């Protein structure tokens, strides 16, 4: 009660959408993390159980530092700001070695959770989306669409460390979607590479700001 009083003194306009039980879960967080979860519950109408799951998954901790800074300064967010790092992929098995096909299957088995890991307003379109380059077909691992930002999202899965050729591959796929699928009024396609291990040097020197890389984390349930 004493802690709640202290929080109430600081944030006198606390949301009526949150119950006492909601606040009991987050009273001890620092200001930024506290406000993040308040807004998360408000925006998504989360139950106490759902809030606990978000906290247990370290959702705030897995946000990029740039996103946290934007939240503090209340700057406008972009489509990739809330893509977690690492991205949690659920599995019921213990894997020492995993293939890209297995990773894709695990994502499809828990698609709703995967879309939540990417942020807001993502919707699934197709796995193994075919595109024809010359006389050969290539296949985009996952093709999504973001309703809020009105753009296609190309997802490529890699069970190795991020390599420079992965950047070139996803750029080709993004450019294809822009030229052959995207409507004029829609925004340019975004690319997300989900890999076993990130390489910040490669991303640092990638000139296309629409491309981001995130590591995946297999979590047994």
* Shared domain check, 120 and 204: yes
Closest CA to 115 of 204, 194, 196, 34: 194
* Shared domain check, 213 and 109: yes
pLDDT of residue 83: 95
Q: How confident is the model at residue 10 (pLDDT cuts 50, 70, 90)?
A: low
pLDDT of residue 140: 98
pLDDT of residue 62: 95
pLDDT of residue 9: 62
**Rounded to whole angstroms, how far apart are CA atoms 79 and 151?**
9
pTM assigned to the model: 0.87
214 in a domain, yes or no? yes
Closest CA to 79 of 160, 162, 173, 149: 149
**Rounded to whole angstroms, how far apart are CA atoms 36 and 55?**
11
Q: How confident is the model at residue 115 (pLDDT cuts 50, 70, 90)?
A: very high
C-alpha gyration radius of the chain: 19
* 221 vs 106, more confident: 106
* Shared domain check, 109 and 49: no
pLDDT of residue 163: 94
* Shared domain check, 208 and 133: yes
Domain span including residue 29 = 2-61
Domain count of the fold of the chain? 2
Task: Tell me the helix, strand and coil percentages in the chain, rounded to 5.
Answer: 40, 25, 35
**Rounded to whole angstroms, how far apart are CA atoms 189 and 140?**
13
141 in a domain, yes or no? yes
pLDDT tens digits, one per residue of 139-168: 999 999 999 999 999 999 999 999 999 999
Mean pLDDT value across residues 23-36 = 87
**Rounded to whole angstroms, how far apart are CA atoms 4 and 103?**
43
208 in a domain, yes or no? yes
* Shared domain check, 207 and 103: yes
159 in a domain, yes or no? yes
| Residue ranges with strand state E in the chain | 87-91, 122-133, 136-146, 151-161, 190-197, 211-220
* Shared domain check, 49 and 133: no
Task: Give the containing element (helix H, strand E) for 127.
Answer: strand 122-133
Tokens 């799951």 sit on residue: 53
150 in a domain, yes or no? yes
72 in a domain, yes or no? no
How crowded is residue 13: how many other Cβ atoms within 10 Å of its Cβ?
6
Q: How confident is the model at residue 81 (pLDDT cuts 50, 70, 90)?
A: very high
């Amino acid at each position: 009660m004493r802690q709640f009083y202290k929080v109430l003194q600081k944030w006198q306009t606390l949301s009526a959408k949150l119950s006492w039980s909601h606040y009991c879960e987050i009273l001890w967080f620092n200001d930024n993390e506290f406000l993040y979860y308040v807004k998360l519950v408000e925006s998504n109408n989360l139950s106490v159980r759902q809030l606990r799951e978000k906290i247990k998954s370290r959702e705030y901790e897995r946000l990029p530092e740039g996103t946290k800074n934007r939240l503090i300064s209340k700057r406008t967010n972009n489509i990739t700001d809330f893509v977690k790092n690492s991205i949690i992929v659920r599995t019921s098995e213990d894997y020492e070695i995993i293939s890209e096909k297995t990773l894709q299957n695990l994502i499809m088995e828990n698609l709703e959770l995967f879309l939540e890991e990417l942020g807001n307003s993502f919707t699934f379109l197709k796995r193994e989306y075919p595109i024809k380059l010359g006389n050969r077909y290539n296949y985009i691992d996952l093709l999504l669409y973001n309703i809020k930002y009105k753009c296609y999202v190309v997802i490529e899965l890699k069970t190795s460390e991020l390599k420079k050729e992965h950047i070139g591959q996803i750029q080709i796929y993004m450019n294809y979607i822009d030229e052959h699928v995207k409507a004029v009024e829609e925004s340019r396609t975004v690319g997300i590479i989900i890999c076993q291990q990130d390489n910040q040097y490669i991303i640092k020197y990638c000139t296309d700001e629409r491309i981001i890389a995130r590591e995946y984390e297999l979590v047994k349930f």
